[in-house]
Chain A
Amino acid sequence: MLSSSVIKSLQKIVGKENVLTAPEELATYAYDATAMWRHRPDVVVLPHDAAQVSGVLKLASRHGIPVTPRGGGTNVSGGSVPIRGGIVLGTTRMNRIIEINKTNLNATVEPGVVLQDFQEALAREGLFFPPDPQSFSGCTMGGVVAENSGGPSCLKYGVAKQYVLGLEVVLADGRIVKLGGLTPKNRTGYELVMLFTGSEGTLGVITRITLRLLPVPPASQTIVAVFGDVATAGETVTDIIARGVLPAKVEFVDSWTFGKFRGLLPDKVLDESEVILLIQVDGLPETVKAEAERVAALCRATAGDVRVAADAAEAERYWQVRSAHFSDISSRARTIINEDVSVPRDKIADFIRLGQESARRHDVPLSFAGHIGDGNFHPVVLTDKDDKEHFARALACIDEIIEIAIALGGVLSGEHGIGLEKQRFLKKAMDPAAIDIMKQIKAVLDPKHILNPGKIWEETPDEK
């Protein structure tokens, strides 16, 4: 519990209406989009600018109060759950788009801007920011940077870090620091911008972001292909890229989500198939036409059914099913464990086969979906954390799947981050010396460990 004088000080810094202390407010800041992590903060503050953020951090630093930065709270790592209580610093009211510059192809935004709103504002100017995590309708730009978000478009366009040009960051002691700049090329000192990109709120609070943009591709085309088995689908993807087509997105869903494709694709084909690939090519209309034809031809050679979307509305229906995948799976079980491993493209078929074998051995339901084009998968185990025996098997299966991915040369997290959810695997997945360097950096920037404590490498305290 925080003393009433701390609360009063917070109210003085950000204004009374931006400090939440009622239990019914705090309860709604206890979670993110994971199933397993929950902890109420003692107070929620919603600052409006960097000066207020600085004031909050100075106060927290003085009193040693934990501060968990939080944007939309749509992350799936436990990263924005205030596991040690204290202050949740919500950025949702810092939500101005400060500038969209068409000539310089950049934009400057505050951290609380919702990605979808940003995308819509850019689209009106014919511009495009590629990272597209599936939580785009709730996630905020601060989170996109702090979690170094990815999404389907990253196959061709890369992840958030490829677009961050400059940041304004408030450090744990309240100092406001400007990093990077406005230009796409900038070789001035260490890449400190990258230090905060993907830092999961443990090194500072991002209060302003300058992003590189692209002109929006004038045309796109969606191809849907249904495959009898995963290996064939994986080989087809490799083949498409080897033949010189780099699609914007190549997404993959397994039969768990086929229900949502019924009515869009023939039942017979769905009944006999294991996976669906959703492929989008984009660019100039003539390129798109040629690429779509080549992709469709290659798929027809190996797939049970191939559809080329007749128009944007049809394409949108397919992509909606893909976007809904995670929630669709989540709603089928009391608890789901969602992983985020990434494997080299030539190991995709091996990874899925070994993963399915593991699920059979542990006798737990397993669903695969994800960004097959870049080898980033979201294996999901469906379980119930109140069923101790089943839950233990589910955890054992997930452990094994992660080990399989790492043994195949993959990584622990492609785009979700470590947060709380994956910290128990960190030692297996990262060089111990690298973990040490991270801890030393943390000690320099946040010596009192007030910023998002309990995340990334520390062990989770035992739950009461």
Chain B
Amino acid sequence: MKNNPALEPLKQFEADLDKCTRCGFCMSACPVYREEKVESAVARGKLSLVRALLDGELTLNAGLADKLNMCTLCGTCAENCPAGTEVPAVLTAARAAKVRQRGVPFPYNLIYRWLLPRRRLFGGVVRFASWFQGIFMPKTQGTIRHLSMFLSALGKGRHIPRIAPKFLRQQVPELNLPPAGVATQYTVGYFTGCMTDFVFPEVGRKIIGFLTRNGVEVRVPRGQGCCGAPVFLGAGDFATGRRLADANVAAFRDVDYVITDCATCASAIKDYVKFLADSDARKRDYAALGDKIKDITEFLVDVLKLPASAYRVAAEFRGRTVTWHQPCHLGRHLGVKEQPRQILKSLKGIKYVEMPGADTCCGMAGTFSIYYYDLSRRIADKKMDAIDATGADVVVTDCPGCQIQLTDGTLRRGAPRQVRHVMELFE
């Protein structure tokens, strides 16, 4: 077992494993441990499992694989770790070991290896699924069952948003120039991510409109694909992750910055170099793309440095009370904490209220919420309590995944509240 080649991806992070002293600083803040209250749920438990795996005391059976999966990778443990253990990295590498040994289960294997790397085909399948969605759940958001492929897993009683009748890239051109009379200051590539492309195209249109009006040329390269988060971070499939990463590198070669409206996509793209760089060329390319990627709020505040007057609240939100949910990938992984708050606090026409524990995980975490929907819901309930405490009637965030989770929680609670992407607030 010690020389098991499947465990190779873990070697890089073995030092992190040894940093853990089991002091327990990771415990009270772990969203999964708070619910489960078993040691295998929390970082120090998971790290000791990985250690036992490397030492040959445990084998990578289905039970252990389950423990490795049962984590949102929110990074709260690493943030609280006095020894600086990079827990999410160890778990990601452990998931990669799991894939090398056990493969990816059906139907995820088909989705990750075959569907996600083929953007047009993926779009087609999503479109196909949306027809069913149209039949089973007309008009409003509601419950769907028996959808094909991965959407079926999303349907365990979860409220999921409608697939857009027209995808973003069918709505906007590849090249979007500032209007006449506005000088171009920057050229950015827009990494739209699957969710904005297929589900929330209106967010994408808003962003493109906002940026071009403020002197930014926005390119939406057709060659871009999935960021790979569910593939290499979620499922540990590094080989397919590389195919996706390479495609995205090629799509965004000629721009100053790459912006996203999805914290998870940005974080995953930054992580290419950490997990997927298996050659010098890839190391160089992945690092270069990682340097260029910016979250939209980070770009607006740190690069474009827009004055407060540039943000005008759309009529529909004027007079409303707004709170902010900080996605884990945005705050802890990308270190973007103040920028969105700075924008929100400067807005005239809304009342901004900070929620208690705004940085606490919402429990979505991509495929985590499919495998562990009940657990994911219980984590979300805590978030809903925090939102309720603010009295806000609009929750904004910067990650379509969080947005889906918060919408699901809000609808389950029947709360009269809107969940929106932060960029939707603006005219």
Contacts from A to B (Cβ < 8 Å): 20, 22-25, 27-33, 35, 44, 46, 72-74, 90, 92-93, 95, 112, 114, 116-117, 135, 137-139, 323-328, 330-331, 334, 336
Contact = CB atoms under 8 A, between A and B. Distances in A.
Contacts of A25: 38-40, 63
Contact of A331 (B21, B29, B39, B61): B21
B26 A138 contact: yes
29 contacts: A24-B49, A24-B58, A24-B61, A24-B67, A25-B38, A25-B39, A25-B40, A27-B52, A28-B38, A28-B48, A31-B48, A33-B22, A72-B24, A73-B24, A74-B23, A92-B37, A114-B27, A114-B28, A116-B28, A135-B24, A135-B25, A137-B26, A326-B23, A327-B21, A327-B23, A327-B82, A327-B83, A328-B83, A331-B18
A182 to B, nearest CB: 28
B23 A135 contact: yes
Contacts of A330: 21, 23, 83
B21 A73 contact: no
Interface of B: 18-19, 21-29, 37-40, 45, 48-49, 52, 57-58, 61, 63-64, 67, 80-84
Q: Is the interface of B mostly helix, strand, loop or mixed?
A: loop
Between A20, A73, A139, the greatest number of chain B beta carbons within 10 A of the residue's beta carbon is seen for A73
Nearest to A321: B82
A28 B52 CA distance: 10
Contact of B24 (A30, A35, A95, A138): A138
B28 A117 contact: yes
A33 B37 contact: no
B58 A138 contact: no
Contacts of A326: 21, 23, 82
B64 A24 contact: yes
Contact of A28 (B21, B25, B49): B49
B37 A28 contact: no
B38 A92 contact: yes
Contacts of B25: 135, 137-138, 323-324, 327
A231 B252 CA distance: 63
Nearest to B68: A24
Contacts of A327: 21, 23, 25, 81-83
Contacts of B19: 331
Nearest to B29: A137
B25 to A, nearest CB: 5
Contacts of B84: 331
Contacts of A33: 21-24
Given A31-B48, A93-B37, A327-B81, A22 B63 contact: yes
Between B24, B29, B45, the greatest number of chain A beta carbons within 10 A of the residue's beta carbon is seen for B24
Nearest to A24: B64
Contacts of A29: 39
A172 to B, nearest CB: 24
B23 A73 contact: no
A135 B25 CA distance: 7
Contacts of A31: 22, 48
A29 B82 CA distance: 22
B65 to A, nearest CB: 9
A267 to B, nearest CB: 21
Contacts of A137: 24-29, 80
Contacts of B21: 33, 35, 326-327, 330-331, 336
Contact of A20 (B27, B28, B38, B57): B38
B40 A24 contact: yes
